[in-house]
Chains A and B, each alone.
Chain A
Amino acid sequence: MKISRKMAFLPALTLSLAALAGVSQSVVAEGWTPKKPVEFVIMAGPGGGADKMARLMQTVIQKHKFSPKPFIPVNKAGGSGAEALMHLKSKKGDDHIVMVTLNSFYTTPLRQPALKVQPLDFTPIARMAEDTFLLWVGKNSGINTLDDFVKAAKAKGNDWIMAGTGRGGEDELLTSYLNRTYDLNIRYVPYKGGGRVAKELVGGHADSTVNNPSEQMGFYLAGDSKPIAAFTGARLPLFKEAPTLTELGQPFEYYMQRSVVGAPGMSDEAADFYREVFTKVYNSEEWQKYMKDKSLQGEFMTGTNLQDYWTRENNNHKVLLSKIGEIKQ
């Protein structure tokens, strides 16, 4: 009884603490620290892989008090990430905004030169992981191998529906890769957010998806969906039954960056602060566990390494998008 009363008092205490957060804690010994809450833009809709991850980062930061001011997540999913990119671009020189980004960081600006967004102008903070992709089908589809998949998809022609997140992004690139490589005519239908995509597959409204593991995990564990191939170099430890495309005779790998970027022209002091914060997040027990549970790969990357990685990936995506006619030369 005594204990529970004490514990009951805790939330109220923390409430007032949260209000005083800036004053009462000495988190970073010296150097720049945020003066107000940091806007934490998520370049995707609620419920998808990027969203879940961003919210985990936010809470790890608050739980361990890595920052004296809270990070406030804001979803900006519109237009395959264009909304988020435009928003960040308009905050040039702002030290109180960072964004969780994915591959639409390259693809959306490439597809839409009218936005006048240059991904390489943004301030590199950290690459937290690379997410993986698998090819998923429903449990009652009767499909168990990639061969089955190709046969079934061929039979249905362009009535075969692949649900994916957004236009011209990761999912559509993978769909067009499958179409070209296996001579298929799959129809791609975009939805807002990976969680919704996973539901479309399980609800029988789509025939296949290329979800990230975190998006299908709940359904996979319940036996409602199954992975039949992985777009990775080696088999994923959590999905040993799914062979890689390379094993199946098509050397192809595709990953999605899970990175954090700052506005263009962010001050060096602020960028250093955020790099330190996200290094700590990366090394936290929670993040490491999440990476393992959700089959994330890739090591931590920051500064010029990250910039080089972006340059490389940006060029790769230019080639991939040209192949599907999304970039007009």
Chain B
Amino acid sequence: MEILQLLLGGFSVAFEPMNLFLVIVGCAVGLFIGAMPGLGSVNGVAILLPVTFIVPPTSAIIFLAAIYYGAMYGGAVSSIMLGIPGASTAVATTFDGRPMAVQGNADKALVAAAVASFAGGTISIVLFTLFAPPLAKVALAFGSPEEFALMMLAFGTFIGLGGDDIPKTFFSIFIGLVLSAVGLDVMSGEPRLIFGDISGFFHGINFLVLAIGIYGIGEILWTIETSKGTVAVASATVNVQRIIATLGELKKSIKTMFMGSFIGYFVGLLPAAGATPGSIMAYGMAKTLSKNPGSYGKGNIDGVAAPEAANNAASTGSMLPMLTLGIPGSPTTAILLGGMVIWGLEPGPRLFVEQSDFVWGLIASLYVANLFAVILNVAFLPLFIWVLKLRFTVLAPVIFVLCVVGGYAPTQDMHDVWLMLLFGVVGYLMRKLDYPMAPMVLAIVLGPLAESSLRQSLMISHGSPMVFFERPIAGVTMLIAALLFLLPVFQAIKARIKGVNQGNAGKLGDNSAGS
């Protein structure tokens, strides 16, 4: 009951005219920033931070949180419409969102993204409202061994899939891990794999450079080849009937959205992880648990719902370590944290008690921001669809320019643009040879996290790998990860037995996991 009272108090703060106005403006700005490739919530919040000094701290954080939220919605837009991830958090949305758009179902994908984002946002805020202080303890309990176990779980979700070619999946993950090792060693600072002395490699390979290259440039090359000059305009329509029909279809995705929200929220809680790994893990998990994993990557609506629910949930989740521990859970919250320092608020365990107006005003405004973001998003649907109807000869150069800008923006280094173009060609070739690319993207995101947590754990344990099994949270997580790694083996055995029994080994795809 006390929580309800505090929340009501929070709403009275959030509904003050100025705060409400800021929420709406913030959502709109965020939507736009998220939709622009290369500009993510990080840039949006960083650019607009100074604007917040003229308003009280509570209004300021409400404004920035609304941008953060809006950007999570917006990121999906260019992932689906153009096949370029609008922000790193929306990379997993391209996996199935883009194929849906190509099939003429862009409106469905966008609606699914909006609804899933709303679901993810709502579920995570409810979790935040009810369990903030105990969950802060969960974040504290996560040390390096737990973090490494979680990373293994993430990799496991990408390997233990019936649909893909397992050796090719492994290959793709290993290439991603090698790419993630380029740059300065996270622990000692020694340069690694810099190809002699190419200074552009010192900052490592930015994950957006890889993702934009593979998905953006690779997509253009692919379309040019498959269409052979006579590019058909993607058939795209949007009307109320179709939206309602899509909402009906989404009933089947409710479970996926819940799962995505929980994964996103918990991964977001952990310092240093954030929304990008959260959304990719949710995608992997949705695929693993699906009855029909083979349909993922080919336009499965669940493949859009899972990562979109997760990235919004993670953005709420990463507020928690920021507020209670003073540690940012994502790059964006790092900037929010900087803002709090300037507004004179000391993040830490006491913030909930001493600045309860601030905290509950923020929580309430997250509910409001979530609502307005989904309304704005649906309102803009016709505009997004219109973009798809542009002729390919117009659209392709636009996509190309956006890719180059998106590759340049994060590091402002031409080296990365060349690298991105190279990845575009490689991505195109991989696609021709039918290599899965999602595992590579996953590996480059999680590689550095996995590496440092592995090395820290082994330093703590004097080199004994038992540290991952002796601690309860790490042990259980590792066990699940191991089962996921072995899943293809079980499936193969099962298929063989079935094949021998029925004399029919041809229907491998029908074997679902866990049945």
Chain A interfacial positions (CB closer than 8 Å to B) = 1, 4-5, 7-8, 10-12, 14-15, 18, 39, 46-47, 51-52, 55-56, 58-60, 62-63, 70, 72-73, 75-76, 78-83, 86-87, 90, 108, 111-112, 114-115, 158, 161, 166-168, 187, 189-192, 195-196, 198-200, 202-205, 217-219, 221-222, 224, 286, 290
Q: Which residues of A contact B335 (CB under 8 A)?
A: 46, 55, 73
> In the bound complex, how far is the Cα of B272 from the Cα of A115, in angstroms?
27
Asked whether B342 lies within 8 Å of A59 as measured between CB atoms, the reply is yes
- Given A83-B202, A86-B199, A218-B325, residue A202 in contact with residue B459 (CB < 8 A): no
Q: In the assembled complex, which residues on chain A have CB atoms less than 8 Å from the CB atom of B327?
A: 47, 195-196, 198-199
Q: Which of B54, B185, B191, B272 contacts A10 (CB 8 A)?
A: B54
| Beta-carbon nearest neighbor of B459 in chain A | A189
Report whether B346 and A218 are in contact in the complex, using a CB–CB cutoff of 8 Å. yes
What is the chain B residue whose CB lies nearest that of A115? B191
Listed in ascending order, the chain B residues whose CB lies under 8 Å from chain A are 16-18, 21-22, 25, 46-51, 53-55, 63, 139-144, 183-191, 199, 202-204, 271-272, 321, 325-328, 331, 334-335, 337-339, 341-342, 346-351, 412, 452, 456, 459-460, 462
A31 to B244: give the CA distance in the assembly, Å: 63
Chain B residues contacting A56 (CB-CB under 8 Å) are: 338, 341-342
* Cα–Cα distance between A58 and B459 once the two chains are bound (Å): 37
Q: How far is the CA of A55 from the CA of B16 in the complex (A)?
A: 29
| Given known A189-B456, A203-B140, contact A59–B53 (CB-CB < 8 A) | yes
Determine how close the nearest CB of chain A comes to the CB of B36; give it in whole angstroms: 16
If A59-B342, A115-B191 are given as contacts, then 17 extra A-B residue pairs at C-beta distance below 8 Å, sorted by A number, are A10-B55, A11-B51, A11-B54, A14-B51, A47-B334, A51-B338, A56-B342, A60-B342, A72-B46, A78-B183, A83-B184, A90-B199, A189-B459, A190-B456, A203-B141, A204-B143, A286-B342
A205 and B334 within 8 A (CB): no
- Tell me whether A5 and B452 are in contact (CB under 8 A): no
Contacts of B48 in A (CB 8 A): 15
* Neighbour of B334 across the interface among A46, A203, A224, CB < 8 A: A46
A87 to B185, CA, bound (A): 15
Cβ contact of A62, chosen from B22, B50, B348, B452, cutoff 8 A: B50
8 A-B pairs with the lowest CB-CB distances in the bound complex, closest first? A218-B348, A79-B189, A55-B338, A79-B184, A46-B334, A205-B143, A222-B349, A203-B140
Min distance, Cβ A32 to any Cβ of chain B, angstroms: 22
**B interface secondary structure, majority:** helix
In angstroms, Cα B321 to Cα A270, docked, is 39
Partner of A218, one of B50, B140, B350, B452: B350
- Is B189 within 8 A of A63, CB to CB? no
Q: By the criterion CB–CB under 8 Å, are A195 and B188 in contact?
A: no
Q: Which residues of B contact A75 (CB under 8 A)?
A: 331, 334
Closest residue on chain B to residue A289 by CB atoms = B344
Shortest distance between the CB of A54 and any CB in chain B (Å): 8
- Given the interface contacts A8-B18, A59-B49, A199-B271, does A79 sit within 8 Å of B346 by beta carbon? no
Are B325 and A199 within 8 A (Cβ)? yes
Specify which of A11, A83, A187 is in contact with B459 (CB 8 Å cutoff).
A187
Inter-chain contact B202/A86, CB cutoff 8 Å: yes
How distant is the Cα of A290 from the Cα of B340 in the complex, in angstroms? 13
Q: Can you name the residue of chain A whose Cβ is closest to the Cβ of B344?
A: A289
Say whether, besides A76-B203, A217-B346, A63 and B50 are in contact (CB < 8 Å): yes
A108 CA / B184 CA spacing, docked (Å): 12
Give the distance to chain B from A289, nearest Cβ to Cβ, in Å.
8
Report yes or no: B143 in contact with A203, Cβ–Cβ below 8 A.
yes
Q: How far is the CA of A195 from the CA of B17 in the complex (A)?
A: 36
Residues of chain A with a CB closer than 8 A to B25's CB: 11-12
Give the shortest distance, in Å, between A185 (CB) and chain B (any CB): 12
Report the bound CA distance from A42 to B285 in whole Å.
Answer: 36
**Pairs A–B under 8 Å by Cβ, sample size 18:** A7-B18, A14-B51, A18-B47, A59-B339, A62-B53, A70-B50, A79-B188, A82-B191, A83-B184, A166-B187, A168-B188, A168-B189, A192-B452, A199-B140, A202-B325, A203-B142, A218-B346, A219-B348
A79 touches B49 (CB 8 A): no
User: Considering only CB atoms, which chain B residue lies closest to A70 in the complex?
Assistant: B50
Contacting pair B346 A11 (CB below 8 A): no
Contact A196 B338, beta carbon cutoff 8 Å? no
* A202 adjacent to B337 (CB under 8 Å): no
Residue in B139, B184, B342 whose beta carbon sits within 8 Å of that of A82 in the complex = B184
User: What B residues does A111 contact at CB under 8 A?
Assistant: 189
Known contacts A12-B25, A191-B456, A205-B144; is A79 also within 8 Å of B190 by CB? yes
Nearest-Cβ distance from residue A76 to partner chain B, whole angstroms: 7
Given A47-B328, A79-B186, A189-B459, A59 contacting B348 (CB threshold 8 A): no
Report A4 CB to chain B, min CB distance, Å: 5
- Tell which of A8, A80, A217 touches B348, judged by Cβ atoms closer than 8 Å: A217
With A83-B203, A205-B144, A221-B348 known to touch, is A198 a contact of B18 (CB < 8 Å)?
no
User: Contact: A195 with B326, CB < 8 Å?
Assistant: yes
Chain A residues with CB below 8 A from B187, complex form: 166-167, 190
What's the Cα separation between A58 and B48 when bound, in Å? 12
Contact between A161 and B460 (Cβ–Cβ < 8 Å)? yes
| CB–CB A78/B50 < 8 A | no
Q: Are A46 and B54 also in contact (CB < 8 A) when A52-B338, A166-B189, A286-B342 are?
A: no
A8 to B19, CA, bound (A): 8
Q: Chain A contacts of B63 at CB under 8 A?
A: 11
Q: State A46–B337 Cα separation when bound (angstroms).
A: 9
A192's partner among B18, B141, B142, B272 (CB-CB below 8 A) is B272
Contact between chains at A8 and B334 (CB < 8 Å)? no
Chain B residue nearest to A63 (CB atoms) is B53
Min CB–CB distance B103 → chain A (angstroms) = 39
Closest to A78 in B: B184
**Known contacts A59-B342, A222-B350; is A79 also within 8 Å of B185 by CB?**
yes
Q: How far is the CB of B445 from chain A (nearest CB, A)?
A: 16
Is there contact, CB below 8 Å, between A202 and B140? yes
Residue on A nearest B347 in the bound complex, by CB? A218
Among candidates A5, A55, A203, residue contacting B17 with C-beta atoms closer than 8 Å: A5
Residues of B within 8 A of A8 (CB): 17-18, 21-22
Cα A221 to Cα B325 in complex, Å, equals: 12
Q: Would A87 and B203 count as touching, CB distance under 8 A?
A: yes
Q: Shortest CB–CB separation between residue A17 and chain B, in angstroms?
A: 9
Q: How far is the CB of B117 from chain A (nearest CB, A)?
A: 24
